[in-house]
Amino acid sequence: AQTVTQSQPEMSVQEAETVTLSCTYDTSESNYYLFWYKQPPSRQMILVIRQEAYKQQNATENRFSVNFQKAAKSFSLKISDSQLGDTAMYFCAFMKHDSGNTPLVFGKGTRLSVIA
Amino acid sequence: DAGVIQSPRHEVTEMGQEVTLRCKPISGHNSLFWYRQTMMRGLELLIYFNNNVPIDDSGMPEDRFSAKMPNASFSTLKIQPSEPRDSAVYFCASSSGAGALYNEQFFGPGTRLTVL
């Protein structure tokens, strides 16, 4: 079974600063995907960024980037130039690669507050 | 596209009553997932379907929970009888197995269930 651990229940950052959210995972799978989801107060789940395990290059989406360390089973999210709208819960998630679609396994989340 | 549709958005009921949650996946998606979110347990999978067939229901808490997917455009999650510990936000998500959107899950807005 896969597990995902987010060790920071809460974090805060000043507007325009950079913040890094940590995530580690445990799996015996060799082929999988990793995700960061954002959940604002509206509770809508929004995909922020995705990383395929077979890709060595770290994924980047505008102000969001990841540091994927496969050997260490680490997958951190860096948010640059933080904005007030980034205030939300952030969930790290794992998905096994299979011939069909498979479920997400989530960490417990990190609550991020961006302070003006 | 309207995205994943869930109804109702909010449900308040009394212990012992039957509750039915509904989900309409994105047209053309062949996988559907039911997740539950609580403060204590975070986001966890209840059950998922591929091509309308239940694949894994190991996350369903007990016999009081049942889920069906009679066709590709509709699924229900039923709790009978409901208990206060079932209070949570229930998310439905769907995904396609084809093309560039493979493995991304699109979430509905969730149903907040309160059992008194």
Nearest residue in B to A92, CA atom: B43
Contact A104 B103 (CB under 8 A): no
How far does A115 lie from chain B, in Å, by closest CA?
24
Residues of B with CB below 8 A from A91's CB? 42-43
- Tens digit of pLDDT at every position of chain B (116 positions): 689 999 999 999 999 999 999 999 999 999 999 999 999 999 999 999 999 999 999 999 889 999 999 999 999 999 999 999 999 999 999 998 765 545 689 999 999 999 99
Structure tokens at A62: 């505008």
Cis peptide before A9 (omega within 30 of 0): no
Residues of B with CB below 8 A from A41's CB? none
DSSP H helices, chain A, are: none
- With a CB-CB cutoff of 8 Å, which residues 38-57 of chain B face chain A? 42-45, 48, 50, 55-56
B88 contacts B113 by C-beta, under 8 angstroms: yes
Cis peptide before B8 (omega within 30 of 0): yes
Q: Mutating which of A3, A10, A45 best tests the B interface, going by the most B Cβ atoms within 10 A?
A: A45
List all residues 6 or more positions away from A64 whose beta carbon is below 8 Å from its beta carbon.
A36, A48, A49, A77, A78, A79, A80
The pair phi, psi for residue A52, each rounded to 5°, is: -90, 135
Nearest residue in B to A43, CA atom: B109
Nearest residue in B to A97, CA atom: B103
Q: Mutating which of B69, B107, B111, B112 best tests the A interface, going by the most A Cβ atoms within 10 A?
A: B107
H or E element: which one contains B69? strand B65-71
How far does B92 lie from chain A, in Å, by closest CA?
11
Q: How many helices (H) does chain B have, and how many strands (E)?
A: 0, 11
pLDDT in tens, A14-42: 999 999 999 999 999 988 999 999 999 99
Nearest residue in A to B104, CA atom: A47
Q: Where are the beta strands (DSSP E) in chain A?
A: 3-5, 10-14, 19-21, 24-26, 32-39, 46-52, 60-61, 64-69, 74-79, 88-96, 104-106, 110-115
pLDDT in tens, A83-111: 999 999 999 999 988 766 889 999 999 99
- With a CB-CB cutoff of 8 Å, which residues 7-36 of chain A face chain B? 33
Residues of A with CB below 8 A from B33's CB? 103-104
pLDDT in tens, A36-78: 999 999 999 999 999 999 888 999 999 999 999 999 999 999 9
